[in-house]
């Protein structure tokens, strides 16, 4: 999901060796080097004068600044072209680099070939003008060698385009295979949904119908028995209501229809409010419930969504704990970017294989508690939507569990964009991170470390807009971008996939970065790859 490299099968020397029977031996241009080396500026002038007359080619130049850089680049290319033989390693790499530069900006092969033909014509014209008039045989030989050198260069260029196309086709094929596997998993999940939903709905409905029939028949002889039946009916109806609410909520989150209202809030206060609401249920089971530490403890989050996550995690712990209790702890990730919230229980624990898939819909630790297994799936989507991550930890069955999630700390979300470095540099780096402090620090550090222009943006939508306007040589993407951007899910991993599919950013190296410890993201990254 990072940049799409050319296949290792593209070996310049092997390609040129295969061309020997057709193009002849690689020509030596050393004598032409001394004749044409000082004409690089004139050749570049003539070449780009022609390009400026092309309505198809000019859009790729974009600006006078870029034209000047391309002009200087062509002068350097001509020196290398004349100095090294076509079968030299550096010549092969030169042809590949030039072609990849065209691929990066999305220039089609036919335009590149026309430009190559135009450059050949201009260099041949310079040769004719400067060659001694009385040496016609020497001119014929020099013209033949120069043409063969351009033929070798053209071969490498077309091979690079072909290999790039193969690389993209293989990547697309791999993505299609992944999409097909995800589709099959989705179909299986839907079948599981129908089975699970049918079971979970039928059970309380059957009980309700049975009790209603008994009420109609007057089977409950005492007022106390009738009252208990009514309470059971009410409980079954509440259970059905919760199931439908969870299904609807998960559906809204999956299609990006749920809104978030992030603000600086006291998460400790939110946790205490949730604990007070659930305390009677813990008391009924003889379990302790404790919020550790003192407030205020602030994060930049949606307090209602945060309360929902904590409520889901506490209710999950309640279902899986028979002795001891549950504690809520708070800490700060190294680097000061995120608050860490931990819900620790002394319950039945988790199998290692179960920990990674617990947050998928309809996954459950055991079947004895019933339910559709939606609470943790909803919690994961809520945490992602607030720019955090969530995971489950356990030393194994009988060892209890720890469900922990992160939330961005306050004061790290403005300004939305920053820029640093040499504006004249042709090297450009894009940093995508919603954390303004990390983004600013990384932009400043990169600008000081490398001679480049570095731009930092705070959202996936802005990044996709920017790469359509500018070329970048390196793109750094935060894994833990908030996953809801407008009405579309777009976390760091899915943004990387989108960038890899766009011509303007397809070949640019792309790195994932994160303030989260690697272990926090291991399961997520393994699933993505």
DSSP H or E stretch at residue 69: helix 64-83
Please give the structure tokens belonging to residue 27. Answer: 């020509």
Rounded Cα distance between 298 and 300, Å, is: 7
Q: What strands, in cross-sheet order, belong to the sheet with 390-393?
A: 288-291, 325-332, 338-345, 401-408, 390-393
State how beta strands 474-478 and 510-513 pair: parallel
Rounded average pLDDT over 22-45: 84
Question: Taking 70 as the threshold, does the pLDDT of residue 145 lie above it?
Answer: yes
Tell which wins on pLDDT, 479 or 284: 284
Rounded Cα distance between 307 and 275, Å, is: 10
Residue among 11, 28, 29 at smallest CA distance from 19: 11
Rounded Cα distance between 385 and 387, Å, is: 6
- Please say whether the beta carbons of 262 and 243 come within 8 A: no
Q: Which residue has the tokens 């001394």?
A: 34
pLDDT band at 423 (very low <50, low <70, confident <90, very high): confident
pLDDT for res 487: 40
- Digit-coded pLDDT (tens) for 86-124: 566 666 677 777 777 777 667 788 888 888 899 999 999
Rounded average pLDDT over 453-463: 86
Most confident of the following: 14-23, 150-159, 191-200, 492-501: 150-159
Q: Give Cβ neighbours of residue 379 (< 8 Å, ≥ 6 apart).
A: 308, 309, 312, 313, 359, 390, 405
- Digit-coded pLDDT (tens) for 235-280: 777 767 766 776 776 666 665 556 778 888 999 999 999 899 889 8
Write the DSSP assignment of 344-371 as a string of letters: EE-SS---HHHHTTTTSTT--S-STT-S
Q: Give Cβ neighbours of residue 345 (< 8 Å, ≥ 6 apart).
A: 317, 320, 321, 324, 325, 326, 400, 401, 402
Most confident of the following: 85-89, 190-194, 390-394: 390-394
- Digit-coded pLDDT (tens) for 9-23: 456 667 667 777 777
> For residue 286, what is the DSSP state?
T
State how beta strands 401-408 and 428-432 pair: unpaired
Q: Long-range contacts for 19-28 (Cβ within 8 Å, ≥24 apart)? A: 19/152, 19/155, 23/148, 23/151, 23/152, 23/155, 24/148, 26/85, 26/86, 26/87, 26/148, 26/149, 26/152, 27/85, 27/86, 27/144, 27/145, 27/146, 27/148, 27/149, 28/85, 28/145
pLDDT for res 355: 67
User: Percent helix, strand, coil in the chain (nearest 5)?
Assistant: 55, 15, 30
pLDDT for res 523: 61
> For residue 321, what is the DSSP state?
-
Tell which wins on pLDDT, 493 or 409: 409
Show the domains of the chain with their CATH numbers. Answer: 12-178 (1.10.490.10), 186-254 (1.10.287), 263-408 (3.30.565.10), 417-528 (3.40.50.2300)
Write the DSSP assignment of 420-485 as a string of letters: EE-TT-S-EEEEE-S-HHHHHHHHHHHHHHSSSEEEEESSHHHHHHHHTTS--SEEEEETT--SEE
């Amino acid at each position: 999901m990072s940049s799409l490299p050319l296949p290792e099968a593209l070996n310049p020397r092997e390609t040129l060796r295969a061309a020997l029977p057709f193009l002849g031996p690689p020509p030596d241009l050393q004598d032409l080097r001394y004749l044409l080396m000082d004409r690089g500026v004139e050749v570049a002038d003539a070449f780009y004068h022609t390009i400026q007359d092309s309505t198809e080619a000019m859009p790729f130049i974009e600006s006078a600044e870029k034209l000047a850089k391309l002009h200087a680049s062509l002068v350097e290319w001509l020196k290398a072209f004349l100095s090294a033989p076509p079968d030299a390693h550096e010549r092969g790499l030169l042809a590949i680099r030039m072609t990849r530069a065209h691929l990066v900006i999305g220039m089609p092969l036919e335009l590149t070939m026309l430009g190559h033909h135009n450059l050949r014509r201009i260099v041949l014209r310079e040769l004719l003008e400067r060659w001694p008039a009385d040496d016609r045989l020497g001119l014929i030989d020099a013209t033949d060698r120069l043409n063969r050198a351009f033929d070798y260069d053209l071969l490498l260029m077309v091979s690079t385009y072909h290999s790039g196309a193969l690389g993209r086709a293989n990547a697309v094929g791999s993505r299609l295979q992944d999409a097909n596997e995800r589709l099959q998993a989705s179909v299986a999940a839907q079948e599981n949904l129908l089975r699970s939903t049918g079971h979970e709905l039928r059970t309380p409905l059957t009980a309700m119908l049975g009790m209603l029939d008994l009420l109609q028949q007057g089977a409950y002889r005492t007022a106390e028995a009738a009252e208990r039946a009514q309470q059971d009916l009410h409980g079954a109806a509440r259970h059905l209501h919760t199931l439908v609410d969870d299904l609807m909520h998960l559906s809204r989150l999956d299609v990006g229809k749920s809104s978030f209202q992030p603000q600086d809030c006291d998460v400790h206060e939110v946790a205490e409010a949730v604990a007070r609401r659930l305390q009677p249920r813990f008391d009924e089971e003889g379990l302790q419930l404790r919020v550790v530490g003192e407030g205020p403890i602030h994060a930049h989050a949606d307090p209602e969504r945060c309360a929902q996550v904590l409520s889901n995690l506490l209710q999950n712990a309640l279902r899986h704990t028979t002795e001891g209790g549950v504690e809520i702890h708070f800490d700060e990730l190294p680097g000061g970017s995120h608050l860490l919230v931990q819900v620790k229980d002394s319950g039945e624990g988790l199998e290692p294989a179960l920990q990674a898939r617990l947050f998928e819909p309809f996954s459950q630790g055991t079947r004895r508690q019933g339910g559709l297994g939606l609470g943790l799936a909803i919690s994961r989507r809520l945490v992602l939507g607030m720019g955090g991550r969530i995971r489950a930890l356990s030393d194994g069955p009988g060892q209890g569990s720890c469900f922990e999630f992160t939330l961005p700390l306050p004061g790290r979300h403005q300004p939305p964009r920053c820029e640093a470095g040499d504006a004249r540099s042709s090297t450009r780096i894009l940093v995508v991170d919603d954390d303004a402090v990390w983004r600013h620090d990384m932009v400043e550090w990169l600008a000081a470390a490398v001679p480049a222009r570095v731009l930092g943006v705070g959202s996936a939508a802005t990044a996709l807009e920017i790469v359509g306007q500018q070329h970048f040589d390196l793109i750094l993407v935060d894994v833990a971008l908030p996953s809801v951007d407008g009405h579309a899910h777009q976390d760091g991993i899915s943004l990387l996939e989108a960038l890899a599919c766009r011509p303007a950013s397809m070949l640019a190296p792309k790195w994932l970065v994160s303030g989260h410890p690697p272990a926090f993201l291991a399961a997520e990254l393994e699933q993505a790859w």
